[in-house]
Amino acid sequence: MTFISGLEVAMLMLLVFGILLHDIALSSQEEASPEAHGIPGEPLFNYASIRLPEEHIPFFLHNNGHIAKVCKKDSHCPYKKHLENLQYCWGYEDSCRPEFRFSYPVCTYVDMRWTDTLESAQDTFWNQADFGYAGARLRELRVLCQPQHTSDSSLVCSRYLQHCRAANLYLDLRNIRRNHDRFKEDFFQTGQIGGHCKLDVRALMSEGQRKSPLQSWFAELQSYTQLNFRPIEDAQCDIVIEKPAYFMKLDAGVNMYHHFCDFLNLYITQHVSNSFSTDVYIVMWDTSSYGYGDLFSATWKAFTDYDVIPLKTYDSKRVCFKEAIFSLLPRMRYGLFYNTPLISGCQNTGLFRAFSQHVLHRLNITQEGPKDGKMRVTILARSTEYRKILNQNELLNALKTVSTFEVQIVDYKYKELGFLDQLKITHNTDIFIGMHGAGLTHLLFLPDWAAVFELDWWLSEYRSFTFLVKKKL
């Protein structure tokens, strides 16, 4: 529980005023033939399917040259103005020049524990918490199961099997046994998961150093088998999944901080795969017989047009996936944003800003400010015993004495206020005040100009939200 003195309130106000008055070829979003003629009067491509923030369009076109070519010749293309900026790039592409990156970190001093120059500090932060992280995952990709023919399977993975892509993947769930373990390590046996391709067993088994439920896919793929039949072509599947499917092992769905590690890593996976289509399935990899509580399920609409599919949906069947993507995981060692080692003195990551813009755009959360002469102040109330601000009303009344402040207290209880309504309030806040806790993950969706005040009743060793502020703001 925390008390805020009148002096602290005054200092908070002064702080507020001081702050506020100052080339990838793995896959493509859609197939589009530059030679297509289309129907007279009709667009040559379904541009509405792109569904990206306007600011992201030139970066998307940079990595999808076939769509840019169609747009150039199509009088119905709504993105003509962006064709002049095709040099814009996220930063992980081989063809990307630094001056055309989506953003670049800002470092104000050198953390000598990491490096000795501002320039190398920027590079370190870029690789830890920006699109340089996605670039590192791209560079790690290696073929573990090589197709010999076009109808064969394949398996391509990053280091430690933190992310993989599989074609014509075979899963035999006919004799699966489930229990209380959500991530059973011996769930599949030899022959129950695999594909028709030339498997490099030694390379596969060498990637097990970080075997752990939410850090690697090694436990799930260590039994990947080189099959002597082509699963789909030889009719060995009871179900064939035609659409791309993202496999995800999810963290706690009742905790915003942990669950948004899932969503952020899915977004990074989309970048690594160069596909932001929502015409995909999300398959929740859970080997238990339990359900999954998800307080933030509305967020899935930013990534898929369909309900999340529990893996147990396919029990007792042989199911084949034409395209399967094993998403980056929420608690990877040196991952994002849980377990992130972060150099001090740097901030302003484009990756987190792009993630925020992407989610807000897809969920249709709009900005109604800033308001002339007014600042919108939101105090996040908590009902739990150790998260309460005991003199919350005193704080509220003190803030209301400032004529330029529009102050509100909100309690983001999921039974009383839906998550999309919560996001709308957060995104339309200029000053966000809240107790240390998972609720502060909302700061990811504050406008770029916002200020954040984290209250804590002890000198917390948990610097999670300091990290998020550095990444987002």
Residue range 115-173, pLDDT digits in tens: 999 999 999 999 999 999 999 999 999 999 999 999 999 999 999 999 999 999 999 99
- Percentage of residues of the chain with pLDDT beyond 90: 79
Question: The sheet that has 375-380: what strands, in order across it?
Answer: 405-410, 375-380, 431-435, 451-455
293-334 pLDDT per residue, tens? 999 999 999 999 999 999 999 999 999 999 999 999 999 999
Longest dimension (CA), the chain: 76
And the tokens for 435?
């107790």
- The residue ranges of DSSP E strands in 126-241, in sequence order, are 142-146, 154-157, 164-172, 193-195, 198-199, 225-226, 239-241
Indicate if the pLDDT at residue 466 is higher than 60: no
Tell me the C-alpha to C-alpha distance, in Å, between residue 249 and each of 153, 214, 219, 246, 293: 23, 7, 12, 10, 14
pLDDT mean across residues, the chain: 89
- Which residues neighbour 351 within 8 Å (Cβ) at sequence distance 6 or greater? 129, 130, 131, 133, 134, 268, 336, 471
Flag whether pLDDT at 461 surpasses 60: no
Residue 198's pLDDT is 98
**Res. 340 pLDDT band, cuts 50 70 90:** confident
Give pLDDT tens digits for 94-122. 999 999 999 999 999 999 999 999 999 99
Which residues on neighbouring strands pair with residue 319, listed in sequence order?
A: 171, 239
Phi, psi of 308, deg, nearest 5: -65, 135
Residue 26 binned pLDDT confidence (cut-offs 50, 70, 90):
very low
Q: Residue 467's pLDDT is what?
A: 53
Cα separation, 150 vs 156, whole angstroms: 15
Which tens digits make up the pLDDT trace of 180-208? 999 999 999 999 999 999 999 999 999 99
pTM of the model: 0.90
pLDDT at residue number 1: 46
- Which string of b and e fits 235-256 if b means at least 16 CB within 10 Å? eebeeebeebbbbbbbbbbebb
Is residue 6 over pLDDT 80?
no
Residues 353 and 103: beta-carbon distance below 8 Å: yes
Q: Give the closest residue to 440 by CA, choosing from 381, 397, 394.
A: 381
Higher-pLDDT residue of 404, 386: 404
- Is 20's pLDDT higher than 90? no
Structure tokens at 370: 């800033």
Residue type at position 107: C
Tell me the average pLDDT across 42-55. 95
Higher pLDDT, 27 or 265: 265
Q: What is the pLDDT of residue 40?
A: 65
Q: How confident is the model at residue 339 (pLDDT cuts 50, 70, 90)?
A: confident
